[in-house]
Amino acid sequence: MLGRIGIVFLVAVIMVVSLYYLYRMNAKLPALPENPSFKNPTISTEERITDLLSYMSLEEKIGQMALVEKNSIRSTSDISKYGLGALLSGFGGSPEENTISGWKKMVDTFVAESKRSRLEIPMLYGVDAIHGHSNVPGLTVFPHSIGLGATGDEELVRQVAEATRAQLALTNINWSYSPTYDMPQDIRWGRVYETFSDDPELVSRLGSAYIKGLQNSEYNGAQTPAVLATPKHYLGAGSMLWDTSSNENFRIDQGVTPVNEQRLREIYLPPFEQAIEEGAMSIMAGLNSWGDTKLAAEPYLIQRVLKEELGFQGFVVSDWYGVYEISDDDYTSAVTAINAGVDMVMLPFEYKKFVRNIKRAVRSGDIAPQRIDDAVRRILRAKFTIGLFDEYYSSDAQTIDFEADRLLARQAVAQSAVLLKNKNVLPISQSEKTIFVAGSAADNVGMQAGAWTVEWQGVDGNWLPGGTSILSGIQSAVGANTNVVYNQNAEFDAEKPADIGIAIVGEKPYAEGWGDNPNPTLSPEDLIVIERLKSTSQKVIVVLVTGRPLLITDEINQWDGLVVVWLPGTQGGGVADVLFGKEKFTGSLPLPWPATLQQMPIATDGKTADGSPVLFERYFGL
Ligand code: BGC
């Protein structure tokens, strides 16, 4: 109908119109000189940022503010097309080949794509290396933070962070969502083990040591890339009230922080102040609310207190999907968060919609262009500070001493164990003839490691490569004259009793709100195991593998020895080291151990809700 001439004419019109729009788009892009000064490492960081910002279009700026989960990237080329600021692997977001080289290949591909963008701005790639680079099976899993808290040893914590950085560098990951600065006041919370302590002084001390280890760049005398640390979660996380969660699946996680401003300033703010002094360049806003307001929507706490008052120069990143918890409307949510001072949004999914919304907000005046410039300036500052623009160097396996890392982890495990009761049974003498070992956590490296290990919710079972279960640690620790007999369910022959029975019991892995537990006690199966051991052994030692204090008030009197080893990670040998006296017990409780549920929450000064005394006070340890 159109005829050949008509078709040719139509195609010509479409081409002219497209060329015109392309021309207009490019005309709007500030021209880039051949050798822009931001590439010059000899001028100051602030000059470099100003220079780089001057070439950036609004779209390129918004791209920098997006943090996207890697599986949500529709096509790798979107990274350069949208100039995305950062990607992350949430737990389980592993490459198909979940090995060091598989990770490195994946991260390198993404980073290379980011450098294909017009301005070649390198991307941050983030993971939760909260107890080592525990995404990758075979790498050292250190004790979870609660265990590090029990050591109280900042030099050790610095070394752990340093080893973690070096292992991250093997895969070219340059960002970790750690350390955790939350301070728990209720053991029912599913994230107690991610914290160092409920004591702001200890959290500040260990947190700073951790930041130092992650962000400096020496390891065993060699240079490895610095990894950007992210103290989290700002602010008041850990003090939420039971049954206030905004998430229908949870009870306390993502709940309401009820404390007033004075308590926030006295207890929760000081560690962040220290972190800034230590050079923290990124801080994560929590999923909790302060009063009615989600933290990511809190301009007073973020913009006013953190940035203006404390002078934080780095960027604030929101937590997983947290911005969209602010309201039912995506546009309002994103605009509110950015106006509150969030600089980078862990979307983590729909980046195209985010770019559209923020563009619209700037054009309509809902977000001031200066706020966008400030956010991008902060993100670029962090990138320049850790050296992303200058030399993206990777270490290789040769610079890592894996055996030294395992020994360090084992040392950390020994130091984190806390001896809570000892009726002349510990350390176990080499002259014991028979030792019975039983319990759900005796031969289970997955349980030892807890969640955030390969999978978000962890893995239950004994398969992590390079791991040593507590049982196998015990088997290697005993002398030639001692016979170790293991039965998980403690089905032993009562006719041939043991000198000592060791029950290794505790919690199965859980992460975040999935670990909110209305009544954290030992399971009926664990209690049966302890009962059985009591009837077949002269003396019984209970070893708790747990992410939090468990309620044991009714049972503890019947035990001869009690040791809590928290979630020690892959090096179970460290537990045997203290049980058999190769290492002395030096750990102390980083938080009070409640006697009853009615004591929840326990305030920072140790006061329980009902005024009754706790079972063990903070810093107790024999
Ligand atoms: C957690 C953060 C974590 C993020 C990315 C969120 O669910 O609250 O602590 O950094 O996921 O994995």
Q: What is the DSSP string of 420-432?
A: EEESS--SPPTT-
Comparing CA positions, the residue from 424, 418, 442, 431 lying closest to residue 540 is 424
Cα–Cα distance between 611 and 613 in angstroms, integer?
A: 7
Q: Indicate whether 7 pLDDT > 80.
A: no
Checking if the pLDDT of 342 tops 80, the result is: yes
> So what's the pLDDT on residue 539?
98
At 518-535, the pLDDT tens digits run 999 999 999 999 999 999
List 199, 443, 512, 583, catalytic entry: 512
pLDDT at 598: 98
Check pLDDT > 70 for residue 313.
yes
Q: Is the CB of 90 under 6 A from ligand 1?
A: yes
Atom of ligand 1 nearest to the CA of 456: 12
Q: What's the count of helices (H) and strands (E) in the chain, helices before strands? A: 19, 19
Q: Where in the chain is the domain with CATH 3.40.50.1700?
A: 402-599
Q: Whose C-alpha lies nearest to ligand 1, atom 5? A: 90
Contact in structure between 547 and 515 (CB atoms under 8 Å): yes
CA atoms of 192 and 238, how far apart (whole Å): 8
362 and 327 Cβ atoms separated by less than 8 Å: no
pLDDT at position 400, please? Answer: 85
Q: Which of 295, 320, 321, 514 to mutate to test the pocket of ligand 1 (most atoms within 8 A of CB)?
A: 320
pLDDT at 4: 72
Q: Which amino acid is at 406?
A: R
Report how far residue 38's alpha carbon sits from residue 198's, in angstroms, rounded to the nearest whole number: 43
Q: Output the CA 365–ligand 1 centroid distance in Å.
A: 31
Cβ atoms 563, 523 nearer than 8 A: no
pLDDT, one tens digit per residue, over 584-617 is: 999 999 999 999 999 999 999 999 999 999 999 9
Q: Is 319 in the pocket of ligand 1 (CB under 6 A)?
A: yes
> Any idea which of 23-27, 96-100, 585-589 has the lowest mean pLDDT?
23-27
pLDDT at 17 over 90: no
Q: Calculate what percentage of the chain has a pLDDT beyond 70.
A: 94
From-to residues of CATH 3.20.20.300 in the chain: 44-397
Classified as helix, coil or strand, 12 is: helix
Quote the ligand 1 centre to 320 CA distance (angstroms). Answer: 6
Task: State residue 236's pLDDT score.
Answer: 98
Q: Which CATH architecture has domain 402-599?
A: 3-Layer(aba) Sandwich (3.40)
3-state secondary structure of 360: helix
Task: DSSP letter for 132, please.
Answer: B
Q: Give the C-alpha separation, 584 to 575, whole Å.
A: 11
Are the C-beta atoms of residues 179 and 145 closer than 8 Å to each other? yes
478, with CB counted inside 10 A (0-12, 13-18, 19+), is middle
The pLDDT assigned to 29 comes to: 78
Residue whose CA is closest, atom 6 of ligand 1? 320
Residue whose CB lies within 8 A of the most ligand 1 atoms, among 319, 349, 454, for a mutation test: 319
Which residue is closest in CA terms to ligand 1's atom 10? Answer: 177
State whether residue 307 is helix, strand or coil.
helix
Q: What is the pLDDT of residues 81-97, one digit of tens each?
A: 999 999 999 988 999 99
**How many Å apart are CA 551 and CA 435, to the nearest integer?**
27
pLDDT of residue 399: 72
Greater pLDDT, 294 or 462: 294
pLDDT tens-place string over residues 39-73? 999 999 999 999 999 999 999 999 999 999 999 99
Residue 263 is predicted with a pLDDT of 95
- The mean per-residue pLDDT over the stretch 187-209 comes to 98
Cα–Cα distances (Å) from 580 to 123, 325, 431, 503, 576, in that order, read 48, 50, 11, 15, 6
Catalytic annotation present for 319? yes
Record the pTM.
Answer: 0.94
In whole angstroms, give the CA distance from residue 98 to residue 371.
Answer: 39
| Whole-number Å distance between alpha carbons of 278 and 542 | 40
Homologous superfamily, domain 44-397: Glycoside hydrolase, family 3, N-terminal domain (3.20.20.300)
Whole-number percent of the chain with pLDDT over 90: 88
Judge whether residue 349 has pLDDT over 70: yes
Mean pLDDT of the chain: 94
User: Does residue 576 sit in helix, strand or coil?
Assistant: helix
Does the pLDDT of residue 80 top 80, yes or no?
yes
